[in-house]
Structure 1
């Protein structure tokens, strides 16, 4: 299934959906600080860098689902709690407008638990009502990432909507409260000292650990008002977007309580109190070690990591949606309907286990997005003869005419899409799909893709 992503940031939620087998075909974020990181780690996704309020409906591609977490500062219990009186809070309404207009099969919205507070809950319920009136069955739940194998206490409100003309029943993923991932399990093997920064530019050349950089700015009074250390055998505090509010490394003993608004570092152990590095935060957020964050100011690294949805939580949500749609997906498939020139070309296609179509802009050519997998079937026809082939569900390859000539084909263009053939389908299925093609698309000379509902 194909999804588009809004408020994408560095792509934590996107990564979770990709890990669950979804295709993130298009993403949107207008923060320049995330561009390089997103493009590096999501090479098959088109990143739209426009302010979403300037987008037209035509710019948003057709897809199965929308995913995204509108800015949370307006709803956070620790902020000014301006809600819709804040421009960032109104971005939630923009997202709802897109859902209303484009009508994807499903959507996901992620936000902070403050949106369920007494102050904001009436507004939240009205927004859910708008989504229901737009034609969706809307579910919401407060989820703790620690219950989904994320080594931190992180509460987030997740909203999932499924279009009400689709006969499925959605259920949130079941929490596992019996198994917590501890800080030792998450970051215990990172024993090297991080590189220390305050205001200087970050050196992006690394050795073993990518982004093992730590912010060493001063601790303000508000930070020192409570303990910031969790032990090795505990889960972490919530990862923060602001570097100065990042939790402290578990190598230090817990801070000493002095008064309601004051705690201090344990005397004699002051040297152990440092913030977690960007890489340690990324591990606690469940980003893989190869996921590289690009930044010149270390604070931007913390911001990208802290603002992200933990990929493992995103994957749990994605898999619950995939399971919900499983019955629908099992009853549908896509077919590439095309012709073959003669029996010799068909024989060579079967021997080489490939079929090709033009990839330029001429009549009869086809265009494919990067990362798009091949259709399930290839239905070939010629003068009343036909054959149904099963294709490998891999991305079509773009090849030159020379590549095909070396295999014995005789192409007449420059570039071609190559589809890999897995096997020949059974006679009964071939006859069934032949009838469907005849009724719904016809035996056209130009290749086209037909979505089949069995």
Structure 2
């Protein structure tokens, strides 16, 4: 059975790539920012997969209009031999402690309500909503979040949510994300049992038990031996080497060095500063927030990170490239805004395995009934 996925707020498509690689069929991509949408298509220019319904930069609100929806997806309601899912991470600055914190009434915050309403109106068989943990953990935002969950439950969805950290999925970055997954009871029944996180590679307990290096004196291009009691696959240097970042298309995409002593005086591994943070090569990165006045410095070079290095920290495969002609600030924004690829893939593998197992059981029951 084909599992068709409609992607909303797609950005550069890290979440989509995780779902594609897990086995889902992305049939539609909606990203209102045309610059981001062009970058999405550029990164996949050599891929075989093509979207059944194409790519759109329409305002997501237009898809709440029944006539517009029907004209856009003429065979959407023909679901006899397919399962349909929605995935999306509505813009999150209004729920982020580092962002505007305007909540559900902010320009971005309103889009979470739009996405929820779109799900309720178009009734996909399942959906995924990804956002910052502030939507779940901040008191005033959690009230809004719980209200949205009640709407979804009343509309016929059983819900499962969790705060997941990208480190546990193999990404060299400490980054918490809220994952909300809903299953339509009309499709999957009332007694749904589901667990998020079955494809984690590491446990946070084991990660914390490692003897991660703290700080070392900054020296340009010096060698530093890998410590014995760390997980190498979660280190910045491992991913820089794995992705061969020095020869990547985006290796030269880096802000020019300015006359600032901090490029030389901040120690390797010192991420305590509010703005300037220098990564340690043999440790994982803090959250890749390249906006909000954060400046992440290279571990052993007197400069900021390149776009190629930012992609590696987001655990993207080395073939993934950002369109060269885009403004540099836009490149960092779209990379930093994305869901870490391995986290996305882990969530998608959980979901794909559960759905295919459910479908197989249903088909076996039908076969057994016919044979009796």
Tell whether the structures are fold-level matches, with TM greater than 0.5: yes
Q: CA deviation at 1:329?
A: 2.2
Q: Give the Cα–Cα distance (whole angstroms) in 2 for the partners of residues 83 and 192 of structure 1.
A: 37
Q: CA deviation at 1:328?
A: 2.5
1:44 equivalent to 2:58? Answer no
2:334 to 301, 304, 325: 304
Partner of 2:176: 155
Name the structure with the higher helix share.
2
Q: Give the Cα–Cα distance (whole angstroms) in 2 for the partners of residues 315 and 191 of structure 1.
A: 22
Q: CA RMSD in A?
A: 2.9
Q: Give the Cα–Cα distance (whole angstroms) in 1 for the partners of residues 245 and 55 of structure 2.
A: 35
Q: CA deviation at 1:148?
A: 0.7
1:80/1:49 CA distance change after superposition, 3 Å:
closer
1:214 equivalent to 2:243? Answer no
Q: CA deviation at 1:54?
A: 1.9
Q: CA deviation at 1:190?
A: 6.8
In the TM superposition, what whole-angstrom CA distance separates every residue of 1:18-75 from its partner, at most 9, and x where no partner exists?
Answer: 0101000101011021122212316512111111112233235465100000010110
Q: Give the Cα–Cα distance (whole angstroms) in 1 for the partners of residues 149 and 118 of structure 2.
A: 14
1:324 equivalent to 2:348? Answer no
Q: Give the Cα–Cα distance (whole angstroms) in 1 for the partners of residues 334 and 354 of structure 2.
A: 31
Q: Give the Cα–Cα distance (whole angstroms) in 2 for the partners of residues 4 and 244 of structure 1.
A: 33
1:289 to 309, 312, 318: 318
Q: Give the Cα–Cα distance (whole angstroms) in 1 for the partners of residues 357 and 236 of structure 2.
A: 39
Partner of 1:397: none
Q: Give the Cα–Cα distance (whole angstroms) in 1 for the partners of residues 140 and 111 of structure 2.
A: 18
In the TM superposition, what whole-angstrom CA distance separates every residue of 1:215-255 from its partner, at most 9, and x where no partner exists?
Answer: 23768x9x95466123111111111242952421121xxxx
1:173 to 187, 193, 197: 197
1:53 equivalent to 2:61? Answer yes
Q: CA deviation at 1:192?
A: 7.3
Matched ranges for 1:361-372 at <5 A: none
SS where residue 325 of structure 1 aligns?
A: helix
Q: Give the Cα–Cα distance (whole angstroms) in 2 for the partners of residues 15 and 311 of structure 1.
A: 7
The number of equivalent residue pairs is 304
Contact 1:171 1:324 in 2 (8 A): no
Q: Give the Cα–Cα distance (whole angstroms) in 1 for the partners of residues 289 and 349 of structure 2.
A: 26
In the TM superposition, what whole-angstrom CA distance separates every residue of 1:120-152 from its partner, at most 9, and x where no partner exists?
Answer: 111111111111111111111111101110110
In the TM superposition, what whole-angstrom CA distance separates every residue of 1:267-316 from its partner, at most 9, and x where no partner exists?
Answer: xxxxx332211011101111111112114211111111111111211111
1:243/1:282 CA distance change after superposition, 3 Å:
farther
Name the structure with the higher strand share.
1
1:70/1:189 CA distance change after superposition, 3 Å:
closer
Question: Could you state the TM-score of these two structures normalised by the residue count of structure 2?
Answer: 0.75
1:90/1:191 CA distance change after superposition, 3 Å:
closer
Contact 1:170 1:320 in 2 (8 A): no
Structure 2, gaps ≥5 residues long: 78-82, 208-230, 263-271
1:276 to 288, 305, 320: 305
1:5/1:217 CA distance change after superposition, 3 Å:
farther
1:244/1:83 CA distance change after superposition, 3 Å:
closer
Q: Give the Cα–Cα distance (whole angstroms) in 2 for the partners of residues 298 and 34 of structure 1.
A: 13
Contact 2:12 2:338 in 1 (8 A): yes
Higher relative contact order (CA 8 A, sep 6+): 2
Contact 2:4 2:27 in 1 (8 A): yes
